[in-house]
Amino acid sequence: MPSQIDPTQPPEGQPTTQGVRDNFATAASEITALQADTEGAPFMPLSGGQMVGSLMLNNDPGAAREAASKQYVDRMVAPGPAGATGPIGPAGPAGVQGPAGAQGVQGNPGPSGAPGIQGPAGAAGQTGATGPQGQMGPMGQQGPIGAAGPKGATGAQGPTGATGATGPQGPNWQVGAGLTLNAGTTPSTLLFANAADGNVLANVSGAPAPAVPTAVTALLDKVFGNTRGAMLYRGAAGWAALPPGTAGQRLISNGANADPSWITSATLSQAITPDPAGTNSTTGVMCGFNAQITLVGSGNLAINVYGIAGMSAGSAGGTIRIAIGTGTPPANGAALPAGATLVGGSMPTAGSPRAGYNLSALALGLTRGTPYWIDILMTAPGGAAVLSLTGNQLSAAGVA
């Protein structure tokens, strides 16, 4: 039943109470009609009832008390294949020969041959010699053979020979787990039995046994173990399980020709003592923190430094900025080393009196396995006033 609710009402930006009420009324009418249409539908109540007609089962039974289809029962009670045919029994004696049929009518004789030519008469006087005998005329053609007499009646059939012995019964097929016998084909065929979706045929019993439908999780637990947090990876000799790492470790790839591994991120937490000497340099000098860290998991480093900063006199403040580099860490009062990198922004400090500072920076693309020093570049505003940092705390950690 298509809905009559108007999705364009009420119009956007011009709502009206009547438009909303009309759509509510339409929805109520459709719900009432739907309830009326489905109230008496042919559903089986939860309390039970009686169904009429055929009940079609989806699969053969899998448990002792499960319903079975007629097709399944017929297949189970079907007889085995027939034995080989026994030898043919001896032939019965020949039946009595019927009487001979009557002789056919003799054909008419052929016509007589023509008489021979008479010889000439002898001369008078002496008796002339007897003339030669005339030739015999040709024999007449033989008349046709008379029709055959009627065939005598067939003698009685001899007794039927004895039935040969029944051949031996064919083998009674039995199938193992995971297979089923299809006796409806000639010859019978063995098939894989139905298994639950997502299962495979396997043996996880711990001893030689027929394969049975097995969940993939059970198969993986059998082969690689069931430790929670383990990782499956392809090693040089085959698939293997990487044991779980410890809390806080990170999984890293070691390249196409190496196995993955867990690593502990590099961290650094250091209280800078003693406080570095102050400076009135307007070009900037290093504090000389002598703090170092070596990255192992990634090339990214998060840095945080905090403490107290300010000038010895005056209201003008200086600036401070985090610097990193490789090689020997710079000493207090040294210039920014060649090749060093300033990270994060410059932070202005208070003048006099001094106040707290907090600097944070993220250094990206650093080289793993290389030691890096971390320091602060101090720049004074000029004049005789000295910029100094005290109570400094530095922390750093490798991040993904």
Is 56 inside a domain boundary? no
Is 316 inside a domain boundary? yes
**What pTM was computed for the model?**
0.45
**Which of 338, 336, 385, 344 lies closest to 361, judged by CA?**
344
84-134 per-position pLDDT tens digit: 777 887 877 776 776 777 776 776 766 766 766 766 765 665 665 666 766
CATH number of 375's domain: 2.60.120
DSSP H or E run through 307: strand 300-311
Sort residue 288 into left (φ over 0), alpha (ψ -120 to 50) or beta: left
**236 and 282 inside one domain:** no
**222 and 242 inside one domain:** no
User: Are the CB atoms for 367 and 296 separated by under 8 Å?
Assistant: no
Q: Which residues contact 301 (CB under 8 A, 6 or more apart)?
A: 293, 295, 324, 362, 363, 366, 372, 396, 397, 398, 399
**271 and 391 inside one domain:** yes
**238 and 222 inside one domain:** no
Is 348 inside a domain boundary? yes
Is 166 inside a domain boundary? no
**307 and 386 inside one domain:** yes
**355 and 276 inside one domain:** yes
**250 and 277 inside one domain:** no
Q: What residues form DSSP beta bridges with 292?
A: 373
* Preceding peptide of 353 cis, ω within 30°: yes
346-377 per-position pLDDT tens digit: 999 988 889 999 999 999 999 999 999 999 99
**253 and 352 inside one domain:** no
Would you state the pLDDT for residue 104? 66
**325 and 356 inside one domain:** yes
DSSP H or E run through 199: strand 199-202
**196 and 312 inside one domain:** no
Is 189 inside a domain boundary? yes
User: Are the CB atoms for 13 and 20 separated by under 8 Å?
Assistant: no
Collapse the DSSP code of 288 into the 3-class scheme (helix H, G, I; strand E, B; otherwise coil) and give the result: coil
* Block mean pLDDT (10 aa), the chain, length 400: 74 79 86 76 72 82 87 85 76 74 71 68 61 67 73 80 69 62 73 84 91 92 92 92 86 88 88 96 96 91 96 93 97 97 93 92 94 97 94 94
Q: How many domains does the chain have?
A: 3
**333 and 210 inside one domain:** no
d(CA 12, CA 107): 125
**Which of 259, 284, 296 lies closest to 375, judged by CA?**
284
d(CA 200, CA 205): 14
d(CA 221, CA 241): 10
Is 104 inside a domain boundary? no
**Boundaries of domain holding 325:** 267-399
Is 393 inside a domain boundary? yes
Is 33 inside a domain boundary? no
Would you state the pLDDT for residue 264? 82
**207 and 275 inside one domain:** no
